[in-house]
Amino acid sequence: MPLTSPSILLAFTTATSGFLLVRAQHLPALHPQASQSQTASRDSASHPISLILQENDGEHRLRRPGGPAHSGSVPEFIIKIDKQNGHAEDFYVGAELLAPGAAIPFHKHHNSEEVVIMEEGGATVTVGDKRAVAGPHSIVFIPRETWVSIANTGKGPIHLYGLFSRQGFENFLRARSVRPGEALTPLTPGELHRAEVAGHVTAWDTSKGPYPPGVPHP
């Protein structure tokens, strides 16, 4: 009987289809593997990455008007390390330049300890029950729930770095600032309050006086 007989072709086709079906059942599915690969790629993108940051590197931000009293005297700051910059799991690190006469007004952090490092001297620092003029390369330790203020009472600019043991304060900073080139719209009281809550920080209300209770002053 010729091999081109319709009955033989039908039998051959049926056998081949059955073999492919059985083999397909034992092969791993392609789509789930692709999905897992994409998921792994997304997860790896959020892992902390090593950084070597030069002085001007980082996320530059400009403070909006209407923030805590005197905070506008330091109009610009740089977010160096956080979840968005380096995918840090714990730390927030920021940098600011305090011109002569500029000041970081009294505030306290609720969820994080902070270390402030100043390259140059001339800053009058008030933290907790202590007040002093900090010299070059000074370090200030600020425990949680501790009022702190730093004012440049010297004659030159001061490079200042803030290192936080836990993230959160960067939420406050972003909420009350914009990137260079964006509109500097004034903060409303409601926006400022929401920013403080998101950033786990309380700014001193100067309507109650120039100094929080318990801190030394002239």
pLDDT tens digit sequence for 158-206:
999 999 999 999 999 999 999 999 999 999 999 999 999 999 999 999 9
Q: Which tens digit of pLDDT belongs to each residue from 124-141?
A: 999 999 999 999 999 999
78/128 same-domain check: yes
Mean pLDDT of the 25-51 span: 53
Instruction: Name 92's bridge partners.
Output: 164
| CB-based contact 163:117 (threshold 8 Å) | yes
Residue 1 within a domain:
no
**Do 91 and 26 share a structural domain?**
no
Whether residue 146 has pLDDT greater than 60: yes
Residue 79 inside a domain? The answer is: yes
Residue 28: give the domain boundaries. Answer: 6-45
Q: With bands split at pLDDT 50, 70 and 90, how would you rate the model's confidence at 148?
A: very high
* Pairwise CA distance, residues 27 & 25, whole Å: 6
Number of compact structural domains in the chain: 2
Domain with residue 63: its CATH number is 2.60.120.10
Tokens of 168: 């959160």
> Could you tell me if residue 218 is inside a domain?
no
User: In this structure, are residues 52 and 85 in contact, taking their beta carbons and an 8 Å threshold?
Assistant: no
Any domain includes 54? no
Q: Is the pLDDT of residue 212 over 50?
A: yes
Looking at residue 67, its pLDDT comes to: 86
Question: Is the pLDDT confidence value at 19 over 60?
Answer: no
Residue 45 pLDDT grade (very low, low, confident, very high; cuts 50, 70, 90): low
Average pLDDT over residues 44-63: 91
Q: What is the DSSP string of 83-137?
A: SSSS--SS-EEEEEEE-TT-EEEEEEESS--EEEEESSS-EEEEETTEEEEE-TT
Half-sphere exposure of 55 (CA within 13 A, CB side): 4
Are residues 160 and 183 both part of a single domain?
A: yes
What is the pLDDT at residue 70? Answer: 79
115 in the same domain as 163: yes
**Helix intervals (H) in the chain:** 6-26, 30-45, 169-175, 189-199
Would residue 41 count as lying in a domain?
Answer: yes
- Pick the closest to residue 151 from 131, 176, 177 (CA basis): 131
